[in-house]
Every structure is written in structure tokens, then in C-alpha cells.
């Protein structure tokens, strides 16, 4: 478990550090009514073994001012969605053997490599890597496919309506 240590700063802002061993792991700060908890190493990947409960919303920065190279998605990008095969599974190290639903990262990577991340680490002199799927960024592809399917349905309904009038 991580040890907790901190210092109280000025009344408008304060900072606390959560440490593991002798290294600072988390930086907790409050400024202008905003509370931030972030890794001290801003390039670090955070891994949580177990469920993550959030009492509010999970938000990804999506502001126009943060983005470059903005393009509308092409419908052809969704063609490979039909090649993905949803799975039901349990995690090997889960004592409760809770059932989960999703995809196998290696299979997703074949069709959507930008939706898969690989994290490598060394533990006890053993190097390993784990792949993960960015399910949130799959949503725009799914929405585009749904919109196309709805367009096709509307077109078929219109055609059937015209043939039914004769």
C-alpha cells in the first residue's frame, strides 16, 4: 500500500503527495476550486488492479483548442467493426471469477491498431507487456456506423412506402 504524506500550503491551494517506497507517486493539489490527482511523472501509465468507482463523471479533454488535424470520420473506417467478435471472459487472477464482456486486444489491434495500447514493464527481472483497448475512442466509430444503418433503414422504409402506394 502507498504511504501518505503531505504539507499544507497557503489557504488558496495545497499539495499532498502519496508515496510508495521512497518515490513520490501521486501529486494531489487543489487550486481555484479544482482538485487534481495526477502521477508525479506526467508520462506515467496508471494501472488499477480491480474496479474503479467514480462518484462523478469521467471526462476526456475534447476542447477544439487542444486539437490539430481535425477531420470528419470516413464511413469506410467502420467497415472493420463487423469483423470484431465480442467475447465473454473472466480474468485469470480474479478470485471471484466475475464475468466481463468486451474484446481481445490482439484481435482489435488487427483491425483498429490505434485503439490498442501496449504497456511494457519489468517485475522481478521479468519483462512483460499487456495490451489494452481504448473503448471510449470506439464510440465515434460505433455512432458513425449506427447513423449509416439508420440512413439505410430510412431509405428502405421510404422505398417500401412508395411501392405500397401503388
Q: Over the stretch 4-18, which tens digit does the pLDDT of each residue have?
A: 344 433 333 444 555
Higher pLDDT among residues 95 and 165, named by residue: 95
Strands 126-133 and 116-123, sheet pairing: antiparallel
Residue 112 is predicted with a pLDDT of 98
Cβ pair 15, 7 in contact under 8 A: yes
For the chain, the average pLDDT equals 83
Residue 98 is predicted with a pLDDT of 93
Q: What is the pLDDT of residues 51-76, one digit of tens each?
A: 788 888 888 889 999 999 999 999 99
State the residue for C-alpha cell 465480442. Answer: 86
Q: What is the pLDDT of residues 15-26, one digit of tens each?
A: 455 555 555 677
For the record, the C-alpha cell of 14 comes out as 495545497
Residue 20 is predicted with a pLDDT of 53
Residue 22 is predicted with a pLDDT of 52
Cβ pair 48, 37 in contact under 8 A: no
pTM of this prediction?
0.71
For the record, the C-alpha cell of 163 comes out as 411501392
Amino acid at each position: 500500500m502507498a504511504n501518505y504524506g503531505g504539507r499544507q500550503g497557503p489557504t488558496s491551494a495545497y499539495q499532498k503527495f502519496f508515496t510508495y517506497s521512497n518515490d513520490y507517486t501521486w501529486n494531489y493539489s487543489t487550486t481555484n476550486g479544482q482538485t487534481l490527482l495526477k502521477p508525479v511523472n506526467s508520462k506515467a501509465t496508471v494501472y488499477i488492479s480491480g474496479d474503479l468507482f467514480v462518484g462523478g463523471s469521467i471526462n476526456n479533454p475534447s476542447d477544439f483548442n487542444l486539437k490539430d488535424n481535425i477531420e470528419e470520420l470516413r464511413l469506410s473506417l467502420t467497415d472493420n467493426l463487423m469483423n470484431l467478435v465480442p467475447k465473454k471472459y473472466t480474468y485469470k487472477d480474479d478470485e471471484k471469477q466475475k464475468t466481463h464482456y468486451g474484446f481481445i486486444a490482439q484481435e482489435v489491434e488487427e483491425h483498429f491498431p490505434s485503439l490498442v495500447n501496449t504497456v511494457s514493464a519489468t517485475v522481478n527481472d521479468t519483462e512483460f507487456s499487456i495490451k489494452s483497448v481504448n473503448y471510449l475512442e470506439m464510440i465515434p466509430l460505433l455512432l458513425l456506423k449506427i447513423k449509416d444503418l439508420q440512413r439505410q433503414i430510412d431509405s428502405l422504409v421510404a422505398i417500401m412506402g412508395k411501392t405500397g402506394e401503388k
